[in-house]
Amino acid sequence: EVQLVESGGGLVQPGGSLRLSCAASGFTFTNYAMSWVRQAPGKGLEWVSTVSGRGTSTYYADSVKGRLTISRDNSKNTLFVQMNSLRADDTAVYYCARDRLSMTGDWYFDLWGSGTLVSVSS
């Protein structure tokens, strides 16, 4: 079965760190770029970060640049994001998503995990 399963969420104090993981199965992981997308409680979706299939290229939203680091271990079919200097406005459900390149040259998300909740509060 093709699926993505996130883990690692939890409650963390402001300024703290957290590492999220996403286990992929059912497809050739290294063939796909992967992303993190988050959703604050009651709010919309926000793209956070993307890593290329080989892990050599990374991209970040301005809101997280310098605080989050995306990476992947293709030998273990796992995506990561290291989150440092966390703030209250980082509180969200973090989704792992598979990237697909369209015929028109756009990158979009064609498969999503169920998400993991990160709460930043003292």
Is 95:9 a contact under the CB 8 Å cutoff? no
Shortest distance, position 111 Cβ to another protein, whole Å: 8
Say whether residue 3 binds another protein (CB under 8 A): no
Strand boundaries in the chain, DSSP class E: 3-7, 10-12, 18-25, 34-39, 45-51, 58-60, 68-73, 78-83, 92-101, 107-112, 116-120
Site track 56-75 with another protein (rule: CB under 8 A), x = hit? ---x-xx-------------
At 89, is the secondary structure helix, strand, or coil?
helix
State yes or no: residue 23 binds another protein (CB under 8 A). no
Which range, of 12-20, 64-72, 82-90, 113-121, touches another protein by CB under 8 A? 113-121
Residues that bind another protein (CB under 8 A): 35, 44-47, 50, 59, 61-62, 95, 102-110, 112-115
